Amino acid sequence: MNIRLNADRFSGNEYVNLYEKYRPAPPIEILQQTLNYLGKPKAERILDLGCGTGISSKVWEGYADEIIGIEPSNEMIEIAKSKSKNDQIRYLFGYSNDIQLSSNSVDVVSCSQSFHWMEPKNTLKEISRVLKDKGILIIYDVIWPPSVNYEFEKAYGKLFENIRRITEELNEVIAHRWDKKKHFQNVRKDGSFDFLKETYFHKTEKLTKNQFIGIALSQGGLEALIKRGFSKKEIGITKFINSINETKLPSYKEMTYNYRVIYAKK
């Protein structure tokens, strides 16, 4: 299995800057609940595994003494480092099945929209190794697309149905992806955790057409086809953008990001 394919999916300066611009920061309540399960108002050290451009690392400022982000995409690491002005945070190149940290050294391991790109068995073994006794693993994902209205979401669905079709017709492995619906089962099967819960959070932001379009363009599956030379028209991007721009904004100009969250206490 060539796991490097997954990192290559999130590469290229143009793409990672787009990712950094449009991907949402998680609800702060997810972090606060993590600390409630940890039993502390502040963590000593948190590890953000698959940290991307650092969006999900920076939110821990004020909630942890030390924040470490690990990411296998060099371009994303460079963006994260360039935007970090806090000595609390450091970013390291690495993979989830070989975490270069000492055993029993981390209060919280956070996987923000990243766990489905990690081989679960060896990743969970490493997470359990670096977590302190009674430490917390948190895995969370946005349920795409954000909730807006029927027209916006239908256009999004058509775009990604076309992306799925084209990807299947390639008849080649362009990435290794594990089913998000099996995260809970995989963590339970690992057997390292004394408490396990799946729950949901949300956050609402102001809706703009550019933001909604940007969220779609930041998806790795779409970018993988662009990297393989497919045109915007072939992928369905042109039609999607035209559809959004031609659609009237809803009465309440808001979009809600819904998060599926797994908490596991060692």
Q: How far apart are CA 96 and CA 98, in angstroms?
A: 6
Sole residue written with tokens 């302190």: 132
Q: What is the predicted pLDDT for the residue at 181?
A: 94
Q: What is the predicted pLDDT for the residue at 173?
A: 81
Q: What is the predicted pLDDT for the residue at 260?
A: 98
What percent of the chain shows pLDDT beyond 70?
97
Q: What is the predicted pLDDT for the residue at 9?
A: 67
Q: What is the predicted pLDDT for the residue at 196?
A: 98
- CB atoms < 10 A from the CB of 144, how many? 15
Note the maximum CA span of the chain. 54
The structural domains of the chain, ordered by start, are 4-265 (3.40.50.150)
| Ordered per-residue pLDDT tens for the chain, 266 residues | 666 665 666 778 889 999 999 999 999 999 999 999 999 999 999 999 999 999 999 999 999 999 999 999 999 999 999 988 888 999 999 999 999 999 999 999 999 999 999 999 999 999 999 999 999 999 999 999 999 999 999 999 999 999 999 999 998 887 788 999 999 999 999 999 999 999 999 999 999 999 999 999 999 999 999 999 999 999 999 999 999 999 999 999 999 999 999 999 99
Nearest-CA neighbor of 207 among 241, 242, 255? 255
Q: Cβ neighbours of residue 14 under 8 Å, at least 6 residues apart?
A: none
**141 pairs with which residues across the strands?**
260
Cβ atoms of residues 19 and 10 within 8 Å: yes
- CB atoms < 10 A from the CB of 209, how many? 16
Cβ atoms of residues 244 and 158 within 8 Å: no
Q: What is the pLDDT of residues 130-186, one digit of tens each?
A: 999 999 999 999 999 999 999 999 999 999 999 999 999 998 887 788 999 999 999
pTM, whole model, 2 decimals?
0.94
3-state secondary structure 58-123: HCCECCEEEEEEEECCHHHHHHHHHHCCCCCEEEEECECCECCCCCCCEEEEEEECCHHHCCHHHH
